[in-house]
Structure 1
Amino acid sequence: MLLEVGSNIMKFYEYLLRRTDGRVKDYPLMQSPVQMTLILLGYLFFVLYAGPRLMANRKPFQLTSAMIIYNFSMVVLNAFIVYEFMMSGWATTYTWRCDICDYSDSPEALRMVRVAWLFYFSKFIELMDTVFFVLRKKHSQITFLHIFHHSFMPWTWWWGVTLAPGGMGSFHAMVNAAVHVIMYFYYGLSAAGPRFQKFLWWKKYMTAIQLIQFVLVSVHVSQYYFMKKCDYQVPLFIHLIWIYGTFFFVLFSNFWIQAYVRGKRLPKPVSHQNGVKAECPVAANSKHLENGTLAHGNGSTQNGKVKEV
């Protein structure tokens, strides 16, 4: 029994090696799935065990300057990724319908490979989101959905870059990067302190933008099911993208109803920093979704006390 299972695993691994796009073999973290899997396991170990133990008897780090630099750097990186996706197909030769992956060595195809890998690599950089939470002892923000999102995305995108770097399966990556430009810009301003709270009145609309993201992704990929013929090379990715987009649309819709329709997310002038009263943009005991994950907002209460996050 074990020998048979082992044999099937080796056959599947050999199949993947045969299917691997030769153009990405020399990129970092693309030689095998072992490297990126070990990194993600290390991430989980730090977030769930080592990090909390390390910080147990320490005061939380402030990390204000680091977070500002990090967030605005991510704005620039994601803006560049969007531009490269557009220039490597989506604004040039793609039809926005059944666009198959181009496995040639044309300049545009190679450009798509590079930006697909860059998007994949950016997901490892985004693991710093959780590292900041741990070092700042913001344990309420480290939810199952946060960890799932940050570990699942880079793991699945290794297979995407390996088997089909481009085509209609890359649309959701371009949209996701565009949304992250807006989100990290918000986080950068938020990290800068209370004096920037007046510029964050559009927080509510970030959720709307995220909902639009999932609608666009799901609608675009759903075309596959209604076409008479589409020769996209890895249909499994189409199914996974549709499931992922639909799942998060339902999640964000529920959040929108709870937070804005039922009025559980109204501004309250309850936070104080350095003796200065600041408008708190999030109601007590409310939660919001960051980077596709559940997290407490910039001003939440626990046990009747205001907690800045």
Structure 2
Amino acid sequence: MTKSVIPMNNSLDYLWSIRDQRLDDWFLMSSPWPTVCICLAYVLFVTVLGPRLMKDREALDLKGTIMAYNLFQVFLSAYVVYESWMAGWGTHYSWICQDVERDPDPNGSGMRMARITWIYFLSKFLEFCDTFFFLARKKFAHVSALQVTHHGIMPIFGYIMTRWYPGGHESFGGFLNSIVHVIMYGYYFCAALGPQFQKYLWWKKYLTTFQMFQFMVLFLKSQVVIFGIAECGYPWQFSLFCSSIMVLFLILFAGFYQQEYQAKQKRKLLGGQEKRHLNATKLD
């Protein structure tokens, strides 16, 4: 038993030894366990405790709070896009293959990218509010397996990236995802303004497609490193890990998209049948 444990301990010690030590004193960076525990608590709360808590309570009216939250998310995501662009992706980073800059200079581009990667990681906890708001308004059907899985995984994924590779090739994912979130939370904010704005939101149906498109782009980008199409010193093992996460999310979002499309087609079919039935009744 002892012999089988030692290699695992050695592996974990080795993994921790190659962390980016510039971030050792940053909030939530000293250990992965707080992040893991917070994510597990989130899953437990939104699947079990939250619905029980709200079962015999009135749904809360949170329109103003949700609008403020969505607007804040737009600005936060836009800030991540701007900082990621200025720290590397819009200046000196290679879009083909890019290693992490580990310069300890607090005013250097390497630390600037590390900071925005860390802020992006922290923002994943804030996104738990998406689910909390559904529970508070007793919209339990909106708490889907897709949402819980996605929100439950992202902080852990973000921790791993921030702790070991805060910048470089795979940080493009945070940059692209933040662009998607500017659009997504912008839509949510506009939709909450009232029905008079619905005519301007014709692009709602493209949101899920856009999200799936980002996963495909990031998956393909990872292959450049995995298969050595370009060499820049970035570890192929981490690109393989990121690529696997993108496949998981693509499958989940594609399943959600198909389910929503089929439900919409079914509603349309039932609506047509009901209309024909009413017309037939009038003729009788």
Q: How high is the TM-score relative to the length of structure 1?
A: 0.78
- Say whether the 8 Å CA contact 1:64–1:192 is kept in structure 2: no
Distance (whole Å) between structure 1 residues aligned to residue 4 and residue 136 of structure 2: 41
Structural mapping, 1:12-161, within 5 Å: 12-106=11-105, 107-161=108-162
Match of 2:203 in 1: 202
Letter in 2 for 1:196: F
Distance 1:52-1:229 versus aligned 2 partners, 3 A rule: same
**AA partner of residue 67 (structure 1):** I
Taking the aligned partners of 1:96 and 1:248, their CA distance within structure 2 comes to 23
Equivalent-residue separation in structure 2 for 1:109 and 1:121 (angstroms): 19
State the distance in 2 between where 1:63 and 1:5 align.
53
Two-structure CA RMSD over aligned residues (Å):
2.3
Unaligned runs of 5+ in 1: 267-282, 286-309
Q: Summarize the Cα distance change of 1:247–1:137 in structure 2 as closer, same or farther, 3 Å threshold.
A: same
Query: Paired residue for 1:213?
Result: 214
With CA pairs under 8 Å and 6+ residues apart, which has the higher RCO, 1 or 2? 2
Give 1 or 2 for the bigger CA radius of gyration. 2
Q: Distance in 2 between matches of 1:129 and 1:251?
A: 18
Q: Which amino acid aligns with 1:201?
A: W
Shift of residue 160, structure 1, vs aligned partner: 0.9
Q: Distance in 1 between matches of 2:39 and 2:226?
A: 33
Read off the aligned partner of 2:38 and give its amino acid letter. I
Amino acid paired to 2:189: G
Q: Is the CA contact (8 Å cut-off) linking 2:146 and 2:252 kept in structure 1?
A: no
* Counterpart-to-counterpart distance in 1, 2:116 and 2:126: 15
Shift in alpha-carbon separation, 1:284–1:60, aligned structure 2, 3 A: farther
Query: What is residue 177 of structure 2 aligned with on the other side?
Result: 176
With 42-51 and 248-257 compared, the bigger mean Cα shift is at 248-257
Q: Higher helix share goes to which structure?
A: 2
Query: Given the superposition, is the C-alpha separation of residues 257 and 149 from structure 1 closer, same or farther in structure 2, using an over 3 Å criterion?
Result: closer
SS of structure 1 residue aligned to 2:202: coil
Letter in 2 for 1:185: G
User: TM-score, normalization: structure 2?
Assistant: 0.85
Q: What runs of 5+ residues in structure 2 fail to find an aligned partner?
A: 269-284
The structure where strand makes up a greater share of residues is 1
The aligned counterpart of 1:271 is: none
CA contact (8 A) 1:71 1:187 kept: yes
Change (3 A) 1:255 1:45: closer
Q: Does 1:224 align with 2:225?
A: yes
Identity of paired residues, percent? 36
